[in-house]
Amino acid sequence: MKNKTTVISEDQLKLQLDFCHKTAAYWREQSVTPLAYVETYGCQQNEADSERIRGMLIECGYGITDTAEGADVVVMNTCAIREHAEQRVFGNLGALTHTKRRHPGQKIFLCGCMAGQTVVTDRIKNSYHHVDGVFSTHHLWQFPEILWRVLNQKKRVFYIEDEAGSIAEGLPQHRDNTLKAWVSIMYGCNNFCTYCIVPYVRGRERSRKPEDILAECRALIEGGTREITLLGQNVNSYGKDLECGMDFADLLEAICAMDGDFLVRFMTSHPRDASKKLFDTMARNPKIAKQLHLPFQSGSSRVLKAMNRHYDREIYLEKVRYAKSLMPELVLTSDVIVGFPGETEEEFEETLSLIEEVRYDALFTFIFSPRPGTPAASMDDPTPREEKNRRFDKLCALQNRISEEIHSGYVGRTFRCLVDGRDKDTLTARTEGGRLVRFAGDDSLIGSYHNITITGSTTWSLTGELTLTN
């Protein structure tokens, strides 16, 4: 693997745009408007990448469709975080043999985090012959060239060489939602938590230049975006690889200095790097949503060490206490893994007691899934699956009770919420803390902030009424 971040030059990007225009001309000559379908698995990072893939496809003359049936191009943007995620992709990929049979010109591409693993690409090469092109996250910016080659050379194309990673500014981008936008501020991860595949498939940590991020945010705000979510695997280490004198808290401050009625959110924060300065900046700044996703993974210091997380239970709890003391309304969410190799019953109980102590608004809960090539995959793991399932169920029951209790405390209170869409017969809105509120109202409310009084709650969401004194 190369170690240094590559900055993709303007010339290289122009070459890709030339491929886009050649592809658009190829279809124009046949008087066809081709259709493309992009299916996204995994996290917001992949969602953001899919917006770029759609942008490139539009530049290549494609219309975007929401089904693989009849599409001229299908792109599967995949996730490798757990075995289950990979199985789903392989299942859905298998089903594409039928759509391709019905539409023989269909070109199928697989990209994203699974495409960064040799075991996966070997399997595609050998057993999934209907897949025309595979490219890892490092080669995303070369998609126009890959597409052109597949269309013209009539052979399968693999862009999967392992790299430290690159930064490509100025790629076309098609956002699904302009009201709420993702902005990647950095790519990759250097942490190598022992269970995690991400550093292997997304390369080393690399930050975008502040001026590029600020220009993107400014354009979004001027275009009517009301919520910007800054993305990175570990946003708190933003800027460490640049010599720009700006850390993540400074970047937040610079974004909030822009005029406009908007909120900034961010994810994910690694607890080790979540600094007092970050919490002070959040507390001071009304444009930063009082919401924090701070994955703890385990409540046991021994397990945290085995996970290579670089904090222990007490350090984590201390940070949470500090953040809550500054921001009593803070909505806290987290990720937790049950059944890490060697986790004892007592250690699992420590996870439960940490959850009781912090009282998260919501948790993303996972059972450990061994990822080939990561250190944890070869650790001794004597706990049977049924026992892990039992722990998992117990943890979920605890969290559901807490979420329900916290949500019922919303009832009778009024919150300023961004109305973001319609789901069947109700409008949907989000509180500043990101909680989902359903209420009755007219579509004309979508896109702006309104005061909503909460009238009911469940484990997962809230119901409310528009406050007329708005």
Helix (H, G, I), strand (E, B) or coil at 211: helix
- Measured from the CB atom, the residue of 200 and 348 that comes closer to ligand SF4 is 200
**Among residues 79, 193, 255, 417, the one that binds ligand F3S under rule CB under 6 A:** 79
Burial of 429 (0-12, 13-18, 19+ CB in 10 A): buried
Q: Distance (Å, rounded) from C-alpha 183 to C-alpha 186?
A: 9
- Measured from the CB atom, the residue of 23 and 297 that comes closer to ligand F3S is 297
Helix (H, G, I), strand (E, B) or coil at 100: helix
Closest CA relative to residue 338, chosen from 298, 370, 278: 298
Quote the DSSP letter at residue 437. Answer: E
Residue 140 contacts ligand F3S per CB under 6 A: no
CA-angle at 369, arms to 365 and 373, nearest 5° = 135
**Among residues 5, 16, 23, 46, the one that binds ligand F3S under rule CB under 6 A:** 46
**Among residues 24, 43, 58, 315, the one that binds ligand F3S under rule CB under 6 A:** 43
Q: Distance (Å, rounded) from C-alpha 468 to C-alpha 229?
A: 29
Is residue 167 within 8 A of residue 187, CB to CB? The reply is yes
Q: Would you give the end-to-end CA distance of the chain in angstroms?
A: 57
**Among residues 36, 80, 337, 419, the one that binds ligand F3S under rule CB under 6 A:** 80
- Measured from the CB atom, the residue of 83 and 393 that comes closer to ligand F3S is 83
- Measured from the CB atom, the residue of 50 and 191 that comes closer to ligand SF4 is 191
- Measured from the CB atom, the residue of 139 and 149 that comes closer to ligand F3S is 139
**Among residues 182, 248, 368, 415, the one that binds ligand SAH under rule CB under 6 A:** 368
Burial of 301 (0-12, 13-18, 19+ CB in 10 A): middle
Residue 231 contacts ligand SAH per CB under 6 A: no
165 φ/ψ angles, rounded to the nearest 5 degrees: 125, 160
**Among residues 81, 263, 264, 331, the one that binds ligand F3S under rule CB under 6 A:** 81
Q: How far is the CB of 317 from ligand F3S (least distance, A)?
A: 26
Q: Which of these segments, 190-198, 206-214, 276-284, 413-421, binds ligand SAH (CB under 6 A)?
A: 190-198
- Measured from the CB atom, the residue of 184 and 431 that comes closer to ligand F3S is 184
Q: Which does 199 bind (CB under 5 to 8 A by kind): ligand SF4, ligand SAH, ligand F3S, none?
A: ligand SF4
Q: Where do runs of H (alpha helix) occur along 209-337?
A: 210-222, 248-256, 276-284, 301-306, 313-326
Is residue 85 within 8 A of residue 41, CB to CB? The reply is yes
Residue 194 contacts ligand SF4 per CB under 6 A: no
Residue 76 contacts ligand F3S per CB under 6 A: no
Q: Distance (Å, rounded) from C-alpha 318 to C-alpha 324?
A: 10
**Among residues 16, 78, 106, 191, the one that binds ligand SF4 under rule CB under 6 A:** 191
**Among residues 233, 269, 333, 431, the one that binds ligand SF4 under rule CB under 6 A:** 233
Q: How far is the CB of 47 from ligand F3S (least distance, A)?
A: 9
Helix (H, G, I), strand (E, B) or coil at 426: strand
**Among residues 193, 289, 320, 330, the one that binds ligand SF4 under rule CB under 6 A:** 193
Residue with tokens 């009539």: 154
Q: Which of these segments, 37-45, 158-166, 266-274, 327-335, binds ligand F3S (CB under 6 A)?
A: 37-45
- Measured from the CB atom, the residue of 76 and 217 that comes closer to ligand F3S is 76
450 φ/ψ angles, rounded to the nearest 5 degrees: -140, 155
Residue 198 contacts ligand F3S per CB under 6 A: yes
337 φ/ψ angles, rounded to the nearest 5 degrees: -110, 130
**Among residues 82, 175, 270, 430, the one that binds ligand SF4 under rule CB under 6 A:** 270
Q: How far is the CB of 356 from ligand SF4 (least distance, A)?
A: 24
Q: Which residue lies nearest ligand SAH, judged by its C-beta? A: 335
- Measured from the CB atom, the residue of 195 and 449 that comes closer to ligand SF4 is 195
Task: Give one DSSP letter per residue of 20-75, joined into a string.
Answer: HHHHHHHHHHTT---EEEEEE-SSHHHHHHHHHHHHHHHHTTPEE-S-STT-SEEE
**What is the binding site for ligand F3S (CB under 6 A)?**
42-43, 45-46, 79-81, 112-113, 197-198, 202
Which residues contact ligand SAH (rule: CB under 6 A)?
Answer: 81-82, 195-196, 198, 233-234, 268, 270, 295, 297, 335, 337, 366, 368-369, 371
